[in-house]
Structure 1
């Protein structure tokens, strides 16, 4: 499916029926709604109209040569929700996408029923947490299939899930014009946000997150190598002891790929808390 959002042709997967649930994929080479949520989406589509967006610069959405920031992604998500005319949504985000989903909820709380976050160093960084040296650095994508496979093997615990279809689909997207430029731009932004107080003010959410009234939860892979449970996960749990926090065994950074059935169960429990009729 395609819609035009602020002039950006935006691709998304649309499945199921009922109340809208928007899935926000993480970053990295070849990322898209289809590949990031392939195993979880069919389970959620039994209950909701599931919309898995390809964020600007990723998937089969347009990749304009602009200076990217995390707010660029948040604003694109906001436009997507508006263009589709979704009055109130539930959101689930993984990794970088968890920050995007949560920042949208903070910016537009009246439009959100609940947020599920999955393994996110980006959101942890936005509340002031820092890794203690346990995190494994993500391999840099150099345009080769081998570097893409190395990246995927870092974020997925069960490497048996990395079949030829998934790798091929991600590599095809990673090879599209403009995608590597977006990755490089976001990489530069990650440096700028640590140095520029104006950019940092937009990025950080510690005070706002503490006052969020929208129901949300955290899901963390016990074997997450890039956003380690023992440092970032534990830090998030300590900052928000009132928020449901779930550790999933046998899962890495992409918990929804390693253990989709368990993630489905946990999200349904969260969404039962946010099942009141829309205002």
Structure 2
């Protein structure tokens, strides 16, 4: 399947709870391909992030066996960008509302970077709704279990609204420059320029700083004890040459903390292993998914109200 052979849709996600008890109805955009049991792809953070840009090279490779949905998280892509106080839990609650509105059950989730934390936190909060989780190169989840990079990670450049700063960011998370096409950069810059997106980035930046100081926020964010007790099967994938969540510190630390969890290193790949080496990542995920098996009669696509082509 060609990378563009997926449907682009939106759905209204009502009553999503954000920090400080904000309640709102959220128009949520996502791209979708395939039939069968649902797999939710949760993109990472950064300027111009979206389901399509984060998963465009992987999504078609999974859709031959599964119904794959790549969500645009709240504040990103073409989903709504309300001016609220963002936190990682805001994004977890958004994913929860999305899954509820589509009537999905026993989902598989795959997340990259910040999105891996969001996917895993959803699984911890709603284990009965999740079959399996795949996490790809996630410094956020590593931090949430108490690991530190020891100064080895390169800091992500902060987006200043310019295309140049966006390109600097992408060159740090994708190792193979051949995958940074003008089309991809243009698509991310279009999203990064939408009203409310930069405010979301700034709000999450402030939230990350708050985490260092606020023990209440740290308690919500931390998952070390809970993750050790998780009954949902999960796997980890890490780029050998990840420069923002280094394998030598954070990846190895995760493998040592959870030695029973399958761990796959993608040689030559960076922080977005699914962009640098999509076929290898797809092979790992499909083998993992098949290890649990596909449920008989499951995965039928529900009728969804309030959806429209975008």
With the shorter chain as reference, the TM-score category is: over 0.9
Residue 139 of structure 1 is matched in structure 2 by 157
Residue 13 of structure 1 is matched in structure 2 by 31
1:234 to 252, 277, 300: 252
TM-score normalized by the length of structure 1: 0.99
1:50-65 superposed matches below 5 A? 50-65=68-83
Unaligned runs of 5+ in 1: none
Residue 120 of structure 2 is matched in structure 1 by 102
Instruction: Return the alpha-carbon distance in structure 1 between the equivalents of residues 293 and 210 of structure 2.
Output: 40
Q: Deviations over 1:91-150 (max 9, x none)?
A: 000000000000000000000000000000000000000111110011111000000000
1:87 CA displacement: 1.3
Residue 268 of structure 1 is matched in structure 2 by 286
Q: How many residues align?
A: 279
Instruction: Return the alpha-carbon distance in structure 2 between the equivalents of residues 223 and 105 of structure 1.
Output: 28
Residue 196 of structure 1 is matched in structure 2 by 214
1:22 to 25, 28, 40: 40
- After superposition, the CA RMSD in angstroms is 0.9
1:1-279 superposed matches below 5 A? 1-6=9-14, 7-275=25-293, 277=295
Secondary structure of 1:75's aligned partner: helix
Instruction: Return the alpha-carbon distance in structure 1 between the equivalents of residues 206 and 184 of structure 2.
Output: 28
1:276 CA displacement: 5.3
| Matched-pair contact (CA < 8 Å) for 2:37–2:294 | no
Q: Deviations over 1:22-76 (max 9, x none)?
A: 0000000000000000100000011100000000000000000000000000000
Instruction: Return the alpha-carbon distance in structure 2 between the equivalents of residues 89 and 50 of structure 1.
Output: 10
Q: Deviations over 1:185-217 (max 9, x none)?
A: 000000111211111111000000001111100
1:14 CA displacement: 1.3
| Matched-pair contact (CA < 8 Å) for 2:41–2:71 | yes
Instruction: Return the alpha-carbon distance in structure 2 between the equivalents of residues 229 and 120 of structure 1.
Output: 10
TM-score normalized by the length of structure 2: 0.89
1:277 CA displacement: 2.6
1:274 CA displacement: 2.4
Kindly report structure 1 stretches of 4+ aligned residues shifted beyond 2 Å. Answer: 276-279
Unaligned runs of 5+ in 2: 1-8, 15-24, 299-310
Instruction: Return the alpha-carbon distance in structure 2 between the equivalents of residues 5 and 35 of structure 1.
Output: 22
